[in-house]
Amino acid sequence: MRYLIILISMFITTAVFSQNFTTDIATAKTSYSSGNLEDAHFALQQAMQEIDIIIGKQVISLLPANMGNFVANTKDDNVMSNVGFMGSTIHRTWGQNDSVDVSIIGNSPLITTLNVFLNTPLLGGMMSNGNNKIIKIQGYKGQLTKSDEGNGQFNYTIQIPLASSLVTFTAKNTTDTQITTWANTLPLQQIAKLLQ
Amino acid sequence: MCLLKKTTLLLFLCVMCFTLTSHAQLLKKLKDKVNNAVSGNSSTNQSQSTDANTSSSTSSGSPTNTKGGGLTNTTPPDVNQQIADAEKSQAAGDYSDARYSIQQALMGVELQIGKQVLQSLPATVSGLQKDTMQNKVMSTQWGWNNLTIQSVYKKADQQLTVTIGNNTMYSGFIDLYFNNSMYTQTNSDGKNQNVKQTKVKSYKAVITYDDSKGYTLLVPLGQSSLIVWECLNFATEQDVMNAANSFDIDGIKKMLGEQ
């Protein structure tokens, strides 16, 4: 029943956004044909933001409902669009106190640095301090980082670049094997296809 | 004991380095032998190609580019077509393609805005002629923040380059300057002031002077745009101000959609 409600609400949201998209595109067309380029530009930007949000919601719908025993906090699902320096941001958490967390940022400024790190073995070796290593998740290269919380807990983060987007997957108080298993449940190939 | 360990480690590293060097030398010798053998077989071909390319070869033998007509100018994206494509893709649920088409449409609109701005610039400034070969409009597909328009004016040894950019980073930098009195008093040696605030047609501006670069005048426009005039071999600061005053800053600001 709960999934049915989620599906219906997603359909309604998409329908509302589609309506805004149609309005924005109509404004863009009218403004462009009347030579009002600045207004046409603004309307196209609005349309792009709406597309970003629709894409984000589709990505959210692909994310697993559970991470081990942790259930997704669907009410906290978040998609944000930001035309300009950074693209859209997609965010979901699982479990109490956000034990597992994924954020996908389009046009992330960190992508270049991470790609250099992942594709330069010498640099990867030099910058490695024993708390990070390069791994592969479903064929995609990524960086696994371990951080000590000081109370005997270890948090792990996996960062995977997908084209110009950055997937950051974090799990609290866990092991590297566990986070890798969970990361493998993310449908990365389908997400990459939507975000390309 | 610790010293012994360190010495052993150092010796080990030295031996490793020596081994690597000798391996590299051995490999180089092998490579040379193979090259000699191969070049022996194809000496005729090589001599022919060397003759043909003598004028365009570097000392290492690899050719340098001396031909080629460059890239042909492509028309900017057709905005109406891209909007139609975006609608079609969106209706079919293909959002990735819809986004791409909107990006292309945005780029097309930006290039048109850029061209309008270029056309609105004066043909001559303080006797310097506009070099129409150096007009540039550049837009990336990242939306509004990366539109750059450039035009160059020349006369004898004088040159004025005007660059109009739309990038939040520039404007933020200049605002920092205006809002921080510490920077405004910057002197190079305590005698000559090489950076100072001024005004161009009631717009706040910063003018700088450098012996090697000449005068540079910066005027931020609205929230995220900036006009930069780079003046080479201009005699006085007043000459630069006169040149800048002949530009329709209000018009440019309006075309860029700034308030």
- What does R_g of chain A's alpha carbons equal in angstroms? 19
Query: What is the structure's pLDDT at B140?
Result: 61
Q: How far is the alpha carbon of A46 from chain B, nearest alpha carbon, in Å?
A: 10
Residues 86-115 of A with CB under 8 A from B: 107
Calculate the alpha carbon distances from B244 to B113, B145, B192, B214, B256 in Å.
21, 24, 23, 15, 18
Q: What is the pLDDT of residue A192?
A: 87
pLDDT tens digits in sequence order for chain B, 259 residues long:
444 455 554 444 444 444 444 444 544 554 565 455 544 444 444 444 444 444 455 567 788 888 887 766 666 778 899 999 999 999 998 888 898 898 888 888 888 888 888 889 999 999 999 887 878 887 765 545 567 888 999 998 999 999 888 765 555 555 555 555 545 555 555 556 677 888 899 888 888 888 888 899 988 887 778 898 999 999 999 999 999 999 999 998 888 877 7
Question: Residues A40-87: pLDDT tens digits?
Answer: 988 988 888 888 888 888 899 999 999 988 999 988 888 887 654 456
- A21 reaches B (C-beta below 8 A): yes
**Model pLDDT, residue B221:** 82
Taking the CA of residue A188 and the nearest CA in chain B, the distance in Å comes to 16
3-state class percentages of chain A: helix first, strand second, coil last, to nearest 5: 50, 25, 25
Strands of chain A (E only): list them.
66-67, 70-71, 78-80, 89-94, 100-105, 132-137, 140-148, 154-162, 165-171
Cα–Cα distance for residue pair B103/A196, rounded to 1 Å: 13
Q: Which of B148, B249, B144 is nearest to B199 (CA)?
A: B249
Comparing CB atoms, the residue among B90, B99, B109 nearest residue A37 is B109
**pLDDT score, position B152:** 92
For residue A46, give the chain B residue with the closest CA: B102
Residue B166: helix, strand or coil by DSSP?
strand
Q: What is the pLDDT of residue B146?
A: 63
The interface predicted TM-score of the complex, written ipTM, equals: 0.71
Which residues have CB under 8 Å from B175's CB, separation 6+? Answer: B220
Q: Which residues of chain B lie closer than 8 angstroms to A108, CB-CB? A: none
Nearest to A37 among B99, B112, B168 (CB): B112
pLDDT of residue B173: 57
Backbone φ and ψ for B222, nearest 5 degrees, come out as 55, -140
CA angle B127, B129, B132 (to 5 degrees): 165
How far is it, in rounded angstroms, from Cα B59 to Cα B227? 45
Phi/psi of residue A174, each to 5°?
A: -145, -165
Between β-strands B225-232 and B214-221, what pairing exists: parallel, antiparallel or unpaired? antiparallel
**Residue B256 near residue B118 (C-beta atoms within 8 A):** no
